[in-house]
Amino acid sequence: MAKPFIIGTFNSGEFLHAGQKILNEGGTAIDAIVAATKQVEENPKDTSVGMGGIPNIFGVQEMDASIMCGKTLKAGAVGAIKGFRYPITVAEKVLEVAPHVLLVGAGAEFFGKAMGCELGDLSTDRSREVYQAFLDDALEELPDDEAFKPYIIEYVQKQNLRKWYDRLADDHHGTVNIMAMDSDGNMASAVSTSGTALKFPGRLGDSPIIGAGNYCDNRHGAAACTGRGELAIRASTARTLVGYMENGMTLEEAAAQCMRDIHNLKTPGGMNCIAIDREGNTISATTRGDRESYHWYMDVDSKEPEKRIGINVPE
Ligand code: ASP
Q: Tell me what pLDDT residue 55 has.
A: 87
Average pLDDT over residues 142-154: 54
Evaluate: CB of 196 within 6 angstroms of ligand 1: yes
What's the one-letter identity of residue 138? Answer: A
Q: pTM surpassing 0.95? A: no
Q: What pLDDT, on a 0 to 100 scale, did the predictor assign at position 168?
A: 58
Of ligand 1's atoms, which has the minimum distance to the CA of residue 175? 7
Indicate the pLDDT class of residue 255, thresholds 50, 70 and 90: very high
Most ligand 1 atoms within 8 A of CB, residue of 200, 207, 209 to mutate = 207
pLDDT beyond 50 at 181: yes
How high is the pLDDT of residue 142?
46
Q: Where are the beta strands (DSSP E) in the chain?
A: 5-8, 63-69, 75-81, 102-104, 176-181, 187-193, 214-217, 221-227, 271-277, 282-286, 294-299, 306-309, 311-312
Per-residue pLDDT tens for 10-58? 888 999 999 999 999 999 999 999 999 999 999 888 878 898 888 888 8
Q: Which residues 6+ apart lie within 8 Å of 106 measured at CB? A: none
Instruction: Show the domains of the chain with their CATH numbers.
Output: 5-122+169-312 (3.60.20.30)
Residues marked as catalytic: 175
How many C-beta atoms surround the C-beta of residue 97 within 10 A? 12
Which atom, in ligand 1's list, is nearest to the CA of 272?
A: 7
